[in-house]
Amino acid sequence: MLATLPFALNFAHPLMEWGLLATSAWALYLGIKVKKTRTGTPKQRKALLPGKFAQRHYIWGSILLALMTLGTLGGMAVTYLNNEKLFIGPHLLVGLAMTGILAVAASLSPLMQRGNTVARKTHVGLNIGMLTLFLWQAFSGMEIVNKIWVSR
C-alpha cells in the first residue's frame, strides 16, 4: 500500500455506494409514480399531477448517473492507489457494466419525452437489470471491504 493513502479513504467508495443504492430505490419509486401519472384513471392522474414526478424523477436520475460515474472512477482510483494495479474481477466488470447501462438508459430521455414507447420500455428494462446487478454488487463489494479490514 502507498504510505500516503489514509486507511479511512478505503471506506469512501463503499459508503457512497450504499447511499447510491438508496438513491436508486428513490428513483425507482419516482419512476413508478411517473407511470401511474401516465396510465392511471383521470381521477388518479389529476391527484398525482401536482407531485411533478416526471421532473423529479429526471433530476434524481441525473444525480444518480453523475454520482455513479464518479463512484466507479473513485473505486478504481482507490484500488489503483492501494495496489498499483487494478484487479480485472467481477466487481470491476459489473461496476463498469452498470455505469454503461445507466448511461444508455438515461440517453433515451429525449425519446421518452416525445412519447416513444420502445424507448420507455427499454429504459425501464435496462434500469431494472441495473438494479439487480446493484444488489449483487453490494455483496461482492462488502466482501472486498471485509478483505481490506482483515488485512489492515
Binding of ligand HEM by 113 (CB under 6 A): yes
Backbone angles phi, psi at 85, to 5 degrees: -165, 170
Dihedral of the alpha carbons of 109, 111, 116, 118, in degrees to the nearest 10: -70
| Concatenated DSSP letters of 85-131 | S---SHHHHHHHHHHHHHHHHHHTHHHHHTT-HHHHHHHHHHHHHHH
Binding of ligand HEM at residue 124 (CB under 6 A)?
yes
Of the two residues 43 and 115, which places its CB atom closer to ligand HEM in the complex? 115
- The amino acid at residue 79 is T
Among 1, 22, 62, 118, binds ligand HEM (CB under 6 A): 62
Whether residue 60 contacts residue 30, with contact meaning beta carbons closer than 8 Å, is answered with yes
Q: By CB under 6 A, name the one of 67, 82, 116, 129 that touches ligand HEM.
A: 82
Residues that bind ligand HEM (CB under 6 A): 10, 13-14, 17-18, 21, 24, 27-28, 31-32, 34-35, 38, 54, 57-58, 61-62, 64-65, 68, 71-72, 75-76, 78-79, 82, 86-87, 89, 91-92, 95, 98-99, 102, 105-106, 109, 112-113, 120, 123-124, 127, 131, 134, 137-138, 141-142, 144-145, 148
